[in-house]
Amino acid sequence: MAGDRLTEIPVIFYRTGAGAEPVRDWLRSLSAEDRRTIGTDLATVQVGWPIACRCAARLAPGYGRSAATCRATGLRGWPKRNDEMSKSKKNPHWGSTLDEFLDEEGIREAAKAEAVTRVVAWQLSEEMKRQGISKARLAELMNTSRAQVDRILKAKGNVTIETLQRAAALVGRQVRLELV
């Protein structure tokens, strides 16, 4: 729901007893475009927990690898693992982090920015559904086209914070940004 609080979770790749990270190795074997797509999908889950888990199936439509990667990294058990991570005992099967992978790819900032935009757009869409506001009605309220509202809700193109704030205000919400 739009009122859910987000908690960033650390996405950590599984490490075998022998030290291999099969999911990360598989990601490295993909094209740069596929690595960016899946990296951004995983970043969306990471920055948008728990909301992004509900929309994970929508990530990269028609791109089955994203869902498979989410399952392979073991995201279902994250709340428990996140609590465990705060303890001093480290699980030997925790490998490198998604952030390290995104840094190596040189896409961390872009992936995180797109991830945040996706989550806010999803929250906006859910609030519109809750209130019964159609895309056409939001377009009318924003003095824009329905096509532009579609781009906003799909987080496609260059969706600005100002645009998201305007749309959020029209459904009685606000976008909050903070430095952490």
Q: In this prediction, what percent of the chain has a pLDDT beyond 90? A: 44
38-92, pLDDT tens digit by residue? 998 889 888 876 555 554 555 444 444 444 455 545 444 444 444 545 444 578 8
Rounded alpha-carbon distances, angstroms, from residue 127 to 40, 114, 120, 153, 179: 24, 20, 11, 11, 25
Calculate the CA 12 to chain-centre distance: 15
Domain shared by 103 and 144, yes or no? no
Domain end marker among 58, 81, 110: 110
CATH number at residue 138: 1.10.260.40
pTM: 0.73
- Segments forming the whole domain that contains residue 135: 114-170
| 103-118 pLDDT tens trace | 999 999 999 988 888 8
Q: For tokens 């704030």, what's the residue?
A: 165
- Contact (Cβ atoms closer than 8 angstroms) between residue 6 and residue 44: no
Predicted pLDDT of residue 51 = 58
Q: Which residue type sits at 126? A: E
